[in-house]
Structure 1
Amino acid sequence: MLVLCAVSAPRNAAAGVIGADTVWQGEVSVTDDILVPAGVTLTVRRGTTVRVAAAESTKTDPEYLSPLTEITVRGRLVVEGTDAAPVLFSGEGKKTGEWAGIIVDHGTATLLDCRITGADAAITVIDGILRLKGGTLQENRYGLTAQGRTSEVTVEESRVTGNDYGLFTLQGARVVTRGTTVAGNRKKDTHAAVAREEWPVKSLAPVAGPPVGRRYRDEVLRGETVWQGRVQVDGIIRVPEGSRLVVMPGTIVEFSKKDTNGDGIGENGIMVQGRLVAKGTPRLPIVFRSAEAGKAMGDWDSINIMNSAGAQNIIEYCRIEHAYRGLHFHFSNVAVNESALNDNYRAIQFQESVVAMTGNTLCGNRSGVQGRDSRVLFTDNLVCANLMGGNFFRTELTARGNRFVGNAKEGLRVREGVAAITENLFDANRYGFLVADTFYGEINRNSFTNNLEIGISMKNVDNLQVRGNVIAGNGFSGLMVQDARAVIGGNLISDNGERGIGVQTFDGEVSGNSFIHNGRYAIDLDGKKDLAAPGNWWGGDDPEKVILDRQDDPARGVVRHDGEMSEPVPFAWPLPSLLTDITWRGAMTVERPVTVLPGAVLSVAPGTTVRFAPEAGLAVRGRLLAKGTADAKITFTSLTGNEASAWDEVLLEYATGSEITHCVFEHATWGVHSHFTNLSVKDSLFSGNYGGMRFRSGPVRIERSTFRGNTIGIRSYIGNAVITDNTITGNETGIFVREKGGGLAISRNNLAGNSGYGIRVGDFNDEDVDARGNWWGDGDPSAAIFDGRNEPGIGIVRFEPHLNGPVAAGVGATP
């Protein structure tokens, strides 16, 4: 069936889902969201004018992607404009950003001779296909944004001009332009960004399960019902008030697809008004999934929990897949723990509820979680690789220890309400964290890193505290502030692409922060009101050179930067682990053990000092690049004491490719402790530790370094290493070969002046040690060696020929 909207006076277009091939022509007014689903074509005839109503709603339908009115294409859009009769898409009020724009979401669009104005983004392509010819994208916030590796965009003979931003290419989208002008956009014409890598969504292994043991159609479950084995639902299950549904560990619940209105969304599901207890175990999770052979997102509706505010509903160790909304609850008390929700339109949605979510994985959905008018405890969850991560409206939100990573739009959006955001990671999203219209809250000790555009965006907020965050490596701005009253202090703001902080209107103070190595400006003051920024460290730069204000443009306010710090403001690293690449700069404090996880790279910039609290250390299971210079060494030292073992160690395990150059390690239990790592240590000083360095396996190269004043300088256990051109002196034992020393090559070192031995061979070492060509001090070299000559049965240190004088070895020397 073909639906034709052809009118001489404006009329409303069909709102919501277009269920059949449709033609627009004449004047069409869009008053609500439009969705073109897969298998459906929307055609817009030449000369048509489409006017879209301005609306910023709190809509909850997972199939839509913006709070603004949008035209979303998952099927096909064909715009048949001509040079003589172009098609116009615009907002009703003709203001920039009043409607969302055209969103090609895994669909296909061919747009000929059209003009798009007034949108947030004129065209957004998310893993879709677009051909734009003869188009004009003007007076929008964004002209064209293409995102995702499977996006294919061709732009011919078009103009992208007069927008805030022009053409953005994100996450590997393929964009080809021919005869196209992208120029005259107010803030930036073109931008391309790719996160370090796409966040992987681990496919959950399919669970075969037993044959179907119980089958339901539309049915009411009264009293207490227990499900176990394999259950198939071909309708809607209702659990009325006063009844309880218990799902046993290992149970598989499958929903067949029923789609009576043809919108592509399944309607079967569960409606709980009593209580649901679904407690799996790590070994026997409960699975809720589609029953279809070709399982797909939206095959079934949801687990709905409504008006169940008494005893807590429990969902624990569950897998929820292929739903429209995996979990959906209103006016209820719900705990969701240790569960995985993926391949759903929206993983979790709720309102007017008390919700606790801990240890869950919400990955690979269109939307991770959306909640409103609720009290929410959200801790230790992974929200990754969704189109949209988290969205909370009018909530009392406590979010702690979560990871919002690799989401195509925002990691987390909070609007209105009260929020406490602490010790979370926001990494590799398009936008890290967006907060608007809130009246109180705190954003403390989080990591906002490597987001493609902005780390934190604050708009129309009051009484907000922003302290102790690392805001680094974001594509445009670390922090964007508009109409905000807040305290911004004690943050590390570094390595952001264009600016550390961009400010339009701000009432508060920016103080006690470290601004280091941001692209163009540390602070870009775009508004007319002055900004107080006293007592910051500007990374060794002249503040006037890294601040954009009235000195550069008379239309701007003044950034008052009195009392600037002469050295870095100490910054306490906020998270227990590093999941993605990061650079430490300035003065870092490690108050508890920190782990660099596999796949991540920790770079430490020249001149950085890292201070460790007692018992704190750094465990590297990814890669460490601590590459200082002769004039700007990196120091790893104690926070509180100057004695040996005042802090733990830098441990490298399977950290292949790590490099340590021009570093100082002092007052540690072990400065460096390396296991099974291809490691290079050069031009470094190990002093005042219990042990300077110890290693197992390797290969390790230790060159031109000094080990002085340690109980043990170097210890090898089943080691494979080259130790050359070092000064190893003033220790109790210079080199201790605990076991299997045959893999060592020790040469051209100064091994004199150790109080015990230059080299001591351990009781379990039965291999000889190659230590030819070293300086042992005056006298017989064997006096500085403990080996098989002293204790029969252990290996011999082969030291002949030996050097007759010291070599120019140690920190800064050359071989």
Structure 2
Amino acid sequence: MRLHMKRFSGTCLRLLMAVIFFMVLLDGAVDAAVITTDTVWQGEVKVSDDVLVPKGITLTIRPGTIVKVVAAESTKTDPEYLSPLTEITIRGTLKVEGTEKAPVVFAGEEKKTGSWAGIIVDTGTAAMQFLRISSAETAVTLLDGSLQMKHASLSGNRYGLVLQGKKAVAALENSTVSDNDYGTCIFQGAQMTTKATLIEKNRTRDSYTASPKAFDPGVRLELPQEGPVSRRYADAVAMGETVWQGRIEVSGLVRVPEGSRLIILPGTVIEFVRRDTNSDGIGENGLLIQGRLIAKGTREKPITFRSAEKDKQMGDWDSINIMNSAESQNLIEYCRIQDSYRGLHFHFSNVVLHNSVLSNNYRGVQFQESLVDMKGNWLIDNKSGVQGRDSDLSFTDNVLYNNYVGANFFRTTLSASGNMVMGSWREGWRIREGVSTLRENLIDGNRYGLMLADMFYGSYNGNSFTNNLETGLSLKNADNVEVNGNVMSRNGITGLSIQESQAMIKGNQITDNAERGIGVFSFDGIITENNLAGNGRYAIDMDGKTDIAAPFNWWGGDDPARVVLDRRTDPNRGSVLADNPSERPFSFTWPLANLPTDTTWRGTIGVTRNLAVPAGAELKIFPGTTVVFAPATTLLIKGRMIASGTPADKIRFTSRDKKGAEDWEGIQLEYATGSIVSHCILEYAAWGLHSHFTNLVVTDSLFTNNTGGIRFRSGPVEIRRSKFEKNSIGIRSYLGNAVIRENDIVGNETGIFVREKGGGLFITRNNLFKNSNYNIRVGDFNNEDVPARDNWWGTTEPLETIFDGRNEPGIGNVLFEPYLTAPVATGAGVKL
């Protein structure tokens, strides 16, 4: 086999370091290598750096082989590798041919858990029998590949087996997965079958299955128009000012030297022919910009960089390399960059990347020692979205979705806001060293949300760490860090993990995580004024031996002693000093502009700007929650809202100022099928609920001091056992389809207003009285009769309280007979 060609900054060309390995390696050492021919390992093999088996290549390991892996955590940047630890990555085929008497052994040289990455089967195939794997971060990771494992022992690792992706299929037979932190983890729809296999005695969990909810990243750039090739380049130098337009084909390296400029016009398509002279699976053609690049497309006519191959693959071409171009700004705007090794790669340069799509690349963006502005981009379906180091970065309003790793920054001065980092198969966001400020970012549905390591300063305010499969936010060896006003909710295991860190943890919403709100190993700081409620097993799990200060938090109404695991349960643990617990939740201002993923609200939530729940997302509001709206704010539901209180713990939607009707706009539901409002109070709004084309159920709720309680169009809507009082209009229907039953509609100006097409209403067994203008008013454009039988009108003369066709001919009548002669026991005993 041949040593892997490292990719160096400065020249951006991949140099061959060494070319020959033995076809059969006996008792040898393996340095960083891409294995380019079918290879056999036998005897004792020492792996001192990453090994990659590319597509089409087979690595066979003979019986009795011992593979020792050197611990080598580093800051390496090669996109084809997936872990900072030493790894054996299979994109081709791995055959492990151990026997009962001569098993194959994989172990870290240090024999320390997590000292090497493990075996990563990345879209490849592995057939393994009679083997033992230990000391790994993950013994075997299967990513959209195939695994057959017989007579295996996975023990002494952090994770035994991790399966990810709908194409990942694993079969275990006569194997044991034990004495790991986690046994098996199955994510993103992977499949596993077992036969005569034991998965037991793992420290944290034996088995764990989770998948993030699908998300539409919202890419809106037009696809390129096809056309004939207008210009072809092999290896070339573009001197002076060069303009590209049309369809450009590149079959070599095009260099733009210092002092020259390449301008690419909107709608241009640049295609790179695949050339792989060293058979490492990575294409070599691309661009090298040492002058300046201006690639300014438009939304309707984006510029496209892609593979020229019919069957386009990740890594078909190398990169847009920008080197030593710092004197003037390079601009990439409204571009599509796909099928590359590193889509955009620059060192010592000034680069602006705006409104562009980078997909199907080993790495979307990589930079070093540069000034960078990234705004409004989509980085989706890459192995790595973006990685940077030793740079100044402004990172705003980007969407990173379904990458293996979303963003990874090292020693970078980072300012980041408004980004959505979602669905990453491993870390959504990793920041190591440097200075970073993050605010109002959504980090959702990743395996791990945000991981901070070796930080000496950082400010993380108003972010949302939600629905991550394992942990929302992790701090490791962080110092002088502020974590304020964040949401850490609905994470699969832990909301916030703290290890060997000093921080201020204040004013956060840490709720509804599956196992624990905060997990602490060692911490020097304070945890205060947080809402710690609804977490599965523990609000705080104190795993270390040093006491921590956690005064003046809200524990969801629980005694802290019941929801904290510390020295009181285990004398080997430190104590959580939970002095002066708050009796009420702290008001928490919702930090994001929208609610694009499944969200839970609990406690007291402040809404200071318009919020929207898009189609496909759900907002769940827990009993006892109070939602406080600033003036002129609206909650728009296009997904689904489940607001289910209880008789004892109602949900209240109210205004901040409580001056009167129209303090806030209200809750608007648009095609929000399946929404529920139960045991709620809605007050001081323009319209408490404004529903269009929504299957909506409202029960046991109070609408008061609004301009209107409920208005709806279409439906079906069901309103039962609720009370409408002190509104200008209690209920308003327009082209409605609704059942209005057993409600108290009392003390409004108009009880029910039927604007148009009232024949679809069924109004029955309600108490409709003492509404100052009319109990029911039929609108001028309603030409249908309104069914309203068996109601109590507060009088033996219902017509005196009704405005219909008897008052204004041609507008339809209220069919009120027969009517009740006494009030209905509605059960609508909802009070303020």
TM-score by length of 2: 0.95
Q: Does 1:276 align with 2:280?
A: no
Distance in 1, matches of 2:103 and 2:757, equals 80
| 1:310 and 2:322 matched | no
1:11-22 to 2 correspondence within 5 Å? 11-22=28-39
Structure 2 residues without counterparts, runs of 5 or longer: 2-19
Structure 1 residue 572: deviation in Å?
Answer: 1.1
Shift of 1:810: 5.4
Aligned partner of 2:138 in structure 1 is: 121
Aligned to 2:749: 732
C-alpha displacement of 1:757: 0.8
Determine which of 580, 593, 599 is the counterpart of 1:582.
599
Matched with 1:569 is 586
Q: Distance in 2 between matches of 1:469 and 1:496?
A: 14
**2:471 matches 1:482:** no
Partner AA of 2:512 in structure 1: D
- State the 1:16 CA deviation: 2.2
2:592 counterpart letter in structure 1 = L
Contact 2:427 2:451 (8 Å CA) reproduced: yes
Shift, 1:202, TM fit: 7.3
CA contact (8 A) 1:630 1:812 kept: no
Query: In the TM superposition, what is the alpha-carbon distance from 1:292 to its structure 2 partner?
Result: 0.8
| CA distance in structure 1 between the partners assigned to 2:218 and 2:728 by the alignment | 47
Q: Secondary structure at the match of 2:60?
A: strand
Summarize the Cα distance change of 1:201–1:714 in structure 2 as closer, same or farther, 3 Å threshold: closer
Which residue of the partner structure matches residue 8 of structure 2?
none
Task: Name 2:649's counterpart in structure 1.
Answer: 632
Give the drift of 1:809.
2.1
Aligned to 1:375: 392
**For residue 11 of structure 2, what is the aligned residue in structure 1?**
none
Q: Letter of the 1:727 partner, please give it.
A: D
State the Cα distance separating 1:194 from its structure 2 match.
2.2
The alignment status of 1:77 with 2:90, answered yes or no, reads no
Partner letter of residue 545 of structure 2? K
The match for 2:710 is 693
> Is the counterpart of residue 555 in structure 1 residue 575 in structure 2?
no
Which of 805, 810, 823 is matched with 1:788 structurally?
805
1:208 positional shift: 4.2
Q: Using the alignment, how far apart are the partners of 2:629 and 2:37 within structure 1?
A: 65
Moved more, 111-120 or 678-687: 111-120
Alignment of 1:279-294 (within 5 A): 279-294=296-311
Q: 1:51 aligns with which of 68, 74, 78?
A: 68
1:447 aligns with 464
Helix, strand or coil: the match of 2:759? Answer: helix
Does the aligned pair in 2 maintain the 1:455–1:471 contact within 8 Å?
A: yes
1:237: which partner in 2? Answer: 254
Residue 247 (structure 1) aligns with: 264
Q: Say whether 1:401 aligns with 2:443.
A: no
Separation of aligned partners in 1, 2:655 and 2:103: 69
- 1:698 partner letter: G
In 2, the alpha carbon distance for the partners of 1:255 and 1:564 equals 63
How far does the alpha carbon of each residue in 1:517-542 deviate from its partner, in whole angstroms, 9 at most, with x for none? Answer: 11111100000100100011111112
The Cα shift of 1:635 comes to 0.7
Asked if 1:164 corresponds to 2:181, the answer is: yes
Q: Secondary structure at the match of 1:190?
A: strand
Select 1:39's aligned residue among 26, 32, 56: 56
In structure 2, what is the equivalent of residue 468 of structure 1? 485
The 3-state SS of whatever aligns with 1:210 is coil
Shift of 1:189: 2.0
| Residue 267 of structure 1 pairs with residue 294 of structure 2 | no
The aligned residue for residue 644 of structure 1 is: 661
Question: Counterpart in 2 of 1:97?
Answer: 114
Report how far residue 204 of structure 1 moved.
Answer: 8.1
- Per the alignment, residue 218 of structure 1 pairs with 235
Are 1:6 and 1:26, in contact at CA under 8 Å, matched by a contact in 2? no
The CA deviation at 1:3 is 5.9
- Answer yes or no: is 1:179 the counterpart of 2:201: no
Structure 2 vs 1, CA of residues 349 and 301 (structure 1 numbering), >3 Å: closer, same or farther?
same
Contact persistence 1:199–1:406 (CA under 8 A)? no
Name the CA distance, whole Å, in 2 between partners of 1:7 and 1:432: 41
**Contact 2:217 2:378 (C-alpha < 8 Å) held by counterparts:** no
How far the C-alpha of 1:793 sits from its partner, in A, is: 3.4
Going from structure 1 to structure 2, the CA distance change for 1:220 and 1:792 (only over 3 Å counts) comes to same
State the Cα deviation string for residues 692-721 of structure 1 (Å, max 9, x = none): 111111111111110000111111112111
Residue 201 to residue 385, structure 1, CA distance change in 2 (3 Å): farther
**Counterparts of 1:330-729 in structure 2 under 5 Å?**
330-729=347-746
The one-letter code of the counterpart of 2:56 is: G
Structure 1 stretch displaced more, 731-740 or 325-334: 731-740
Q: Distance in 2 between matches of 1:64 and 1:205?
A: 32
Check if 1:775 corresponds to 2:792.
yes
**d(CA) in 2 for partners of 1:203, 1:300:** 25
Question: What's the % identity of the aligned pairs?
Answer: 59
Counterpart of 1:503, as a letter, is V
CA distance in structure 1 between the partners assigned to 2:812 and 2:418 by the alignment: 51
| 8 Å contact kept, 1:3–1:23 | no
Report if the CA contact (8 A) 1:86-1:115 is conserved: yes
> 1:571-600 deviations in whole A, cap 9, x for unaligned?
111111111112211111111111001100
> For the Cα contact (< 8 Å) 2:743–2:765, is it kept in 1?
yes
SS in 2 for 1:506: coil
Partner of 1:133: 150
> What SS does the aligned partner of 1:344 have?
coil
Question: What SS class does the counterpart of residue 113 from structure 1 fall into?
Answer: strand
Name the SS of the counterpart of 1:448 in structure 2.
strand
The alpha-carbon deviation at position 740 of structure 1 amounts to 2.1
What RMSD, in angstroms, separates the aligned Cα atoms of the two structures? 1.6
Equivalent position amino acid for 2:354 in 1 = N
Q: Which amino acid aligns with 2:355?
A: E
Q: Partners in 1 of 2:742 and 2:791 — Cα distance? A: 9
Describe the superposition over 1:78-112 as per-residue Cα deviations: whole angstroms up to 9, x where unpaired. Answer: 11111211111111211111111110111111121
Cα 1:667–1:796 change in 2 (3 A) is: same
Instruction: Name the counterpart of 1:27.
Output: 44
1:690 to partner: Cα distance: 1.1
Deviation at 1:795, TM superposition (A): 2.4
Q: Is the 8 A contact 1:256 1:292 kept in 2?
A: yes
SS of residue matched to 1:804: coil
Is the contact made by 1:75 and 1:108 (CA closer than 8 Å) also made in structure 2? yes
Q: How far apart in 1 are the matches of 2:222 and 2:93?
A: 33
**AA at the equivalent of 1:349:** Q
Counterparts in 2 of 1:145 and 1:671: CA distance versus 1, 3 Å: same
In the TM superposition, what is the alpha-carbon distance from 1:769 to its structure 2 partner? 1.7
CA distance in 2, matches of 1:21, 1:308: 42
Aligned counterparts of 2:829 and 2:103: Cα–Cα separation in 1: 70
Instruction: Label 1:7 to 1:341 Cα distance change in 2 as closer, same or farther (>3 A).
Output: closer
Q: Shift of the alpha carbon at 1:640?
A: 2.0
1:688/1:204 CA distance change after superposition, 3 Å: closer
Structure 1, unmatched stretches of 5+, are: none
Instruction: Report if the CA contact (8 A) 1:4-1:24 is conserved.
Output: no
Q: Which moved more, 1:343-352 or 1:192-201?
A: 192-201
**Distance between the aligned counterparts of 2:583 and 2:31, measured in 1?**
63
1:765 CA displacement: 2.2
- What is the distance in 2 between the residues matched to 1:135 and 1:201? 44
Match of 1:189 in 2: 206
Which SS does the other structure have where 1:742 is aligned? helix
Paired with 2:658 and 2:50, the residues of 1 have a C-alpha distance of: 63
Secondary structure at the residue paired with 2:480? strand
Q: Tell me, yes or no, if the aligned pair for 1:82 and 1:113 is still in contact at 8 Å.
A: yes
